[in-house]
Structure 1
Amino acid sequence: MKQKFTYIELLAVIAIIAILAAILLPALNKARDKAQAAGCLNNLSQFGKFFMLYSDTCDGWTPSGAPWGSSSTEQWFQVLSRTVMPPLPGYQDWCNDGLAARTGHGPWRCPANPEQTYLAKYQKGNRFNSYAANVYHGTTADTGFMTNRTNRFTRASSLVAMFDGYNCRVAPWNTTGGSDSPEDTSALRHSGGVNVLYADGHAGYHRDWLPYRGNYKGPTPTAIGYPNGWMWYAR
């Protein structure tokens, strides 16, 4: 005669399964987060290679960064895609999200940002960007990473080039919490921190958002006296 499970035995089995799930799920989530963070670092490392390739072929210059809201000058992401980065099949318009969704995002999307639809755009949000660049002024030589010459990078291993962000660029001096401030631009996608690409090409992890460089908006020969200056200043 077959013995049937009692309700108590069934509940005990369910309870054991629930306990095992509660034990295993955090470990699985942690492993997933680590894999996403590693994929993001790989993306940034690829960007580092593309930046170096661009500089090597353009007399040491980094890509230009168009002024905010400019429609007549290419943004840094458009310059990269047109010159040294592999073109995406069928993609014609950086502001068109339909083709982006069909062709994939490649290194433009952080694996921890499933919301991204566009490849890159001059608007803020997970839908538009995964990475922000250290650029603001635009078409003339800047004190940051973009629109600059690599021989000006006196502390390349400390100078931020690109990082996990909602906006295509950041204004490092902004202390007001506006849409382009480091605090509001950094996307804390990896255990409460951001992955960062530095001007020397290496990528690493920074706990918490990136701090502003000090309440100063003009050029300066050094970053001495400004909080976190060498993080943002090229010289």
Structure 2
Amino acid sequence: MEIAIMYRKGFTLIELLVVISIIALLIAILLPALASARQTAQSISCLSNQRQLTLAAIAFSVEHDDYLPKPWWNDTPRSDGSQIGSWPYRHPLWGWDYVLNDVVQNEDIFRCPSDNTESIRGTWTTAPGQEADDLPASYRINTSHNPDFGFAAIRVEQFSRASSAIFFLDGLSQNDALHHVATWDPVAGGLLGPNTSQWIGFRHDSNTNNPSRFNVTYLDGHAATAIWEDTWEAIDGDFILSGTPQQVTAWRSEYLPWPEHGIRQNFSP
């Protein structure tokens, strides 16, 4: 009796090449989608961080006579030298982030998941016992609304356009003490303007050649991804300050009298 032995043929070279080509095609299709999904998830997490910081600032105001934290010098709400020490924060741990970390007790929310710089705040001091000085530096506070170069705090009730007033934003840092932006700032490290955006963290834009999207929170607590050009559009016409029209934007929605307590001179924002 003859027994027929069947030999199974393996894949041919052409078949292997076809399979490899299909796999490569699937990878090429799926990778951008996965990258986009990851970017979206990071942006949502970032928005959540900023929202928590804004709510912490509002919680701070409840305990401090409706005053919001200033970018720095949070030992007093005033700029005239009075009430110094009325707030419990002292140099160097008196910036807005140190103050709000006292509320949230969570350093992680100060780091945007899309921020790969690993920048921290507080490397300018290494005094003993100040380990909490080093906080992630992904976000900046917008202090353009504040009078008197930010030395004076502003109350929540003084915001007539809280839903359109940018409060926190994606920022960039140089590992220094600067952690704010302001349209009137005389210091280059915090200066902000329609053509001055070097301190904005455009981390949530797929257009890496000309990015314009970044995350912000507004004083009413809602967070959103903003487009740089749109944030400079005029809101509700001009505001008259000392007889001079001042443009109202999301960056500066309030023009309180300068100087608030008569110790500094005003200049054009």
TM-score (ref. length: structure 1): 0.72
What's the C-alpha RMSD, in Å, of the aligned pairs?
3.5
Runs of 4+ in 1 over 6 A off after TM superposition: none
CA gap 1:161/1:188 in 2 versus in 1, 3 angstroms: same
| 1:198 corresponds to | 218
Output aligned runs, 1:29-178, within 5 Å: 29-66=35-72, 74-82=94-102, 84-86=103-105, 105-116=107-118, 118=120, 120-121=121-122, 129-135=137-143, 142=148, 147-167=153-173, 168-173=179-184, 178=188
Alpha-carbon contact 2:172-2:200 (below 8 Å) kept:
yes
Higher strand share: 2
Query: Greater shift after overlay, 197-206 or 5-14?
Result: 5-14
Q: Which range moves more in the overlay, 108-117 or 198-207? A: 108-117
* Contact map agreement 1:164 1:187 (CA 8 A) in 2: yes
Say if 1:211 and 1:115 are closer, same or farther in 2 by CA, change over 3 A. Answer: same
CA distance in 1, matches of 2:50, 2:23: 40
Aligned length: 202
Change (3 A) 1:175 1:58: closer
Q: Which residue is 1:184 aligned to?
A: 198
Larger Rg: 2
Structure 1 distance, partners of 2:138, 2:66, is 26
| SS of equivalent to 1:63 | coil
Gaps of at least 5 residues in structure 2 are 1-6, 74-89, 125-134, 174-178, 206-210, 235-239, 256-269
Q: 1:175 to 1:63 in 2, by over 3 A?
A: closer
- State the AA in 2 paired with 1:171: A
- The Cα of 1:129 is off from its aligned counterpart by 1.5
> Residue 205 of structure 1 aligns to a residue in which SS?
strand
Shift of 1:155: 1.0
Task: State how far apart, in whole Å, the 1-side matches of 2:232 and 2:92 are.
Answer: 29
- In 2, the alpha carbon distance for the partners of 1:135 and 1:213 equals 18
Q: Between 200-209 and 158-167, report the one with greater CA deviation.
A: 200-209
Give structure 1 stretches of 5+ with no counterpart.
89-104, 215-219
